[in-house]
Amino acid sequence: MAKIKFTKNELKNQRDALGRYERFLPTLRLKKEQLQGEVRRLSRELRDVRTRMDALEDEVRPWIALFDDPYDLAPFAAVERLDKEIVNVVGVNVTELRGVVFAGELPDLHDSPAWADEAVQALRTRVELGLAERFLTAERATLAEELRTTTQRVNLFEKVKIPETLDNIRRIRIFLGDQQTAAVARAKLTKRKTSEQWRSA
Protein backbone atom coordinates (compact mmCIF):
# COMPACT_ATOMS: atom_id res chain seq x y z
CA MET A 1 0.00 0.00 0.00
CA ALA A 2 1.38 3.40 -0.99
CA LYS A 3 2.10 5.89 1.78
CA ILE A 4 -0.53 8.61 2.00
CA LYS A 5 -0.39 12.14 3.39
CA PHE A 6 -2.97 13.07 5.98
CA THR A 7 -3.95 16.40 4.41
CA LYS A 8 -7.06 17.94 2.87
CA ASN A 9 -5.35 17.90 -0.54
CA GLU A 10 -4.69 14.18 -0.20
CA LEU A 11 -8.30 13.63 0.85
CA LYS A 12 -9.42 15.40 -2.35
CA ASN A 13 -6.97 13.35 -4.44
CA GLN A 14 -8.27 10.10 -2.93
CA ARG A 15 -11.91 11.12 -3.52
CA ASP A 16 -11.07 12.02 -7.14
CA ALA A 17 -9.33 8.66 -7.61
CA LEU A 18 -12.35 6.84 -6.14
CA GLY A 19 -14.62 8.72 -8.56
CA ARG A 20 -12.44 7.65 -11.51
CA TYR A 21 -12.42 4.00 -10.39
CA GLU A 22 -16.18 3.95 -9.86
CA ARG A 23 -16.75 5.59 -13.25
CA PHE A 24 -14.41 3.22 -15.10
CA LEU A 25 -15.46 -0.03 -13.37
CA PRO A 26 -18.91 -0.37 -15.06
CA THR A 27 -17.25 0.01 -18.48
CA LEU A 28 -14.77 -2.74 -17.61
CA ARG A 29 -17.55 -5.00 -16.31
CA LEU A 30 -19.54 -4.46 -19.53
CA LYS A 31 -16.46 -5.24 -21.65
CA LYS A 32 -15.88 -8.40 -19.60
CA GLU A 33 -19.48 -9.55 -20.16
CA GLN A 34 -19.30 -8.81 -23.89
CA LEU A 35 -15.99 -10.68 -24.22
CA GLN A 36 -17.44 -13.66 -22.33
CA GLY A 37 -20.37 -13.66 -24.77
CA GLU A 38 -18.06 -13.51 -27.79
CA VAL A 39 -15.82 -16.31 -26.48
CA ARG A 40 -18.93 -18.46 -25.89
CA ARG A 41 -20.22 -17.65 -29.41
CA LEU A 42 -16.89 -18.60 -30.98
CA SER A 43 -16.80 -21.83 -28.96
CA ARG A 44 -20.26 -22.73 -30.32
CA GLU A 45 -19.14 -21.91 -33.88
CA LEU A 46 -16.04 -24.06 -33.43
CA ARG A 47 -18.15 -26.96 -32.16
CA ASP A 48 -20.42 -26.54 -35.19
CA VAL A 49 -17.47 -26.54 -37.62
CA ARG A 50 -15.98 -29.64 -35.97
CA THR A 51 -19.37 -31.37 -36.07
CA ARG A 52 -19.63 -30.58 -39.78
CA MET A 53 -16.09 -31.91 -40.34
CA ASP A 54 -17.00 -35.17 -38.58
CA ALA A 55 -20.26 -35.42 -40.57
CA LEU A 56 -18.37 -34.88 -43.84
CA GLU A 57 -15.86 -37.60 -42.96
CA ASP A 58 -18.73 -39.97 -42.08
CA GLU A 59 -20.43 -39.09 -45.37
CA VAL A 60 -17.42 -39.78 -47.60
CA ARG A 61 -16.05 -42.80 -45.71
CA PRO A 62 -18.36 -45.38 -47.41
CA TRP A 63 -17.54 -44.37 -50.96
CA ILE A 64 -13.96 -43.10 -50.65
CA ALA A 65 -12.69 -46.71 -50.56
CA LEU A 66 -14.16 -47.19 -54.03
CA PHE A 67 -11.60 -44.84 -55.57
CA ASP A 68 -9.18 -47.36 -57.01
CA ASP A 69 -8.36 -45.01 -59.84
CA PRO A 70 -5.27 -42.94 -58.91
CA TYR A 71 -6.53 -39.50 -59.83
CA ASP A 72 -4.81 -36.40 -58.38
CA LEU A 73 -7.43 -34.16 -56.75
CA ALA A 74 -4.94 -31.78 -55.11
CA PRO A 75 -4.81 -29.19 -57.95
CA PHE A 76 -8.59 -28.76 -57.74
CA ALA A 77 -8.50 -28.10 -54.00
CA ALA A 78 -5.50 -25.73 -54.03
CA VAL A 79 -6.31 -22.43 -52.34
CA GLU A 80 -5.71 -19.41 -54.55
CA ARG A 81 -6.80 -16.73 -52.09
CA LEU A 82 -8.35 -16.26 -48.68
CA ASP A 83 -10.86 -13.45 -48.30
CA LYS A 84 -10.10 -12.07 -44.83
CA GLU A 85 -11.24 -9.03 -42.96
CA ILE A 86 -9.92 -7.37 -39.82
CA VAL A 87 -12.88 -6.56 -37.59
CA ASN A 88 -13.14 -4.89 -34.22
CA VAL A 89 -14.82 -7.12 -31.65
CA VAL A 90 -15.33 -5.43 -28.27
CA GLY A 91 -12.31 -3.19 -28.86
CA VAL A 92 -10.05 -6.00 -30.10
CA ASN A 93 -8.94 -6.35 -33.73
CA VAL A 94 -9.30 -9.91 -35.01
CA THR A 95 -9.02 -11.44 -38.46
CA GLU A 96 -12.14 -13.17 -39.71
CA LEU A 97 -12.30 -15.50 -42.69
CA ARG A 98 -14.92 -14.36 -45.21
CA GLY A 99 -14.35 -16.92 -47.94
CA VAL A 100 -11.98 -19.24 -49.76
CA VAL A 101 -11.18 -18.97 -53.48
CA PHE A 102 -9.82 -22.15 -55.04
CA ALA A 103 -7.25 -22.05 -57.82
CA GLY A 104 -8.37 -24.80 -60.16
CA GLU A 105 -11.61 -25.26 -62.04
CA LEU A 106 -13.63 -28.40 -61.50
CA PRO A 107 -12.31 -31.49 -63.30
CA ASP A 108 -13.17 -31.92 -66.97
CA LEU A 109 -15.92 -34.52 -67.27
CA HIS A 110 -14.18 -36.20 -70.23
CA ASP A 111 -10.74 -36.48 -68.62
CA SER A 112 -11.73 -37.50 -65.08
CA PRO A 113 -13.41 -40.41 -63.34
CA ALA A 114 -17.16 -40.17 -62.70
CA TRP A 115 -16.66 -39.66 -58.99
CA ALA A 116 -14.16 -36.77 -59.37
CA ASP A 117 -16.66 -33.88 -59.16
CA GLU A 118 -18.18 -35.15 -55.94
CA ALA A 119 -14.75 -35.89 -54.50
CA VAL A 120 -13.45 -32.40 -55.34
CA GLN A 121 -16.51 -30.80 -53.72
CA ALA A 122 -16.00 -32.89 -50.58
CA LEU A 123 -12.29 -32.06 -50.52
CA ARG A 124 -12.96 -28.32 -50.98
CA THR A 125 -15.56 -28.38 -48.21
CA ARG A 126 -13.02 -30.11 -45.94
CA VAL A 127 -10.41 -27.44 -46.76
CA GLU A 128 -12.92 -24.64 -46.07
CA LEU A 129 -13.93 -26.19 -42.75
CA GLY A 130 -10.27 -26.68 -41.76
CA LEU A 131 -9.49 -23.03 -42.49
CA ALA A 132 -12.64 -21.89 -40.67
CA GLU A 133 -11.54 -23.93 -37.65
CA ARG A 134 -8.07 -22.37 -37.74
CA PHE A 135 -9.39 -18.79 -37.95
CA LEU A 136 -12.05 -19.34 -35.27
CA THR A 137 -9.48 -20.91 -32.94
CA ALA A 138 -7.13 -17.94 -33.39
CA GLU A 139 -9.96 -15.43 -32.90
CA ARG A 140 -11.16 -17.19 -29.76
CA ALA A 141 -7.61 -17.30 -28.36
CA THR A 142 -7.17 -13.55 -28.95
CA LEU A 143 -10.49 -12.70 -27.29
CA ALA A 144 -9.85 -15.14 -24.42
CA GLU A 145 -6.54 -13.37 -23.72
CA GLU A 146 -8.29 -9.98 -23.74
CA LEU A 147 -10.95 -11.43 -21.42
CA ARG A 148 -8.23 -12.60 -19.02
CA THR A 149 -6.65 -9.12 -18.98
CA THR A 150 -10.03 -7.39 -18.53
CA THR A 151 -10.98 -9.77 -15.70
CA GLN A 152 -7.69 -8.94 -13.97
CA ARG A 153 -8.47 -5.22 -14.27
CA VAL A 154 -12.00 -5.67 -12.90
CA ASN A 155 -10.59 -7.64 -9.96
CA LEU A 156 -7.89 -5.00 -9.39
CA PHE A 157 -10.52 -2.25 -9.21
CA GLU A 158 -13.08 -4.24 -7.18
CA LYS A 159 -10.76 -5.99 -4.77
CA VAL A 160 -7.77 -3.67 -4.44
CA LYS A 161 -8.06 -0.11 -5.71
CA ILE A 162 -11.59 0.82 -4.55
CA PRO A 163 -11.30 -0.79 -1.06
CA GLU A 164 -7.81 0.70 -0.62
CA THR A 165 -9.01 4.18 -1.63
CA LEU A 166 -12.07 3.95 0.65
CA ASP A 167 -9.80 2.95 3.52
CA ASN A 168 -7.43 5.84 2.77
CA ILE A 169 -10.35 8.30 2.75
CA ARG A 170 -11.60 6.88 6.07
CA ARG A 171 -8.15 7.15 7.69
CA ILE A 172 -7.55 10.71 6.42
CA ARG A 173 -10.99 11.82 7.64
CA ILE A 174 -10.36 10.33 11.07
CA PHE A 175 -6.95 12.00 11.25
CA LEU A 176 -8.32 15.38 10.12
CA GLY A 177 -11.24 15.03 12.55
CA ASP A 178 -8.83 14.28 15.40
CA GLN A 179 -6.72 17.28 14.38
CA GLN A 180 -9.78 19.52 14.38
CA THR A 181 -10.90 18.22 17.80
CA ALA A 182 -7.39 18.79 19.17
CA ALA A 183 -7.37 22.33 17.72
CA VAL A 184 -10.73 23.11 19.36
CA ALA A 185 -9.47 21.71 22.67
CA ARG A 186 -6.28 23.83 22.43
CA ALA A 187 -8.32 26.91 21.61
CA LYS A 188 -10.56 26.34 24.66
CA LEU A 189 -7.53 25.75 26.89
CA THR A 190 -5.85 28.91 25.60
CA LYS A 191 -9.04 30.88 26.12
CA ARG A 192 -9.40 29.57 29.67
CA LYS A 193 -5.76 30.39 30.50
CA THR A 194 -6.14 33.85 29.02
CA SER A 195 -9.34 34.35 31.03
CA GLU A 196 -7.58 33.24 34.24
CA GLN A 197 -4.66 35.60 33.58
CA TRP A 198 -7.09 38.50 33.18
CA ARG A 199 -8.81 37.66 36.45
CA SER A 200 -5.58 37.39 38.38
CA ALA A 201 -4.24 40.67 37.00
Confidence of residue 67 (pLDDT cuts 50, 70, 90): low
pLDDT of residue 201: 60
Element (H, E) at 109: none
Q: What's the pLDDT at 116? A: 75
Cα–Cα distance measured from residue 170 to residue 191, given in angstroms and rounded to the nearest whole number: 31
pTM of the model: 0.80
User: What average pLDDT does the structure give for the chain?
Assistant: 89
**DSSP per residue, 68-81:** -S----GGGG-EEE
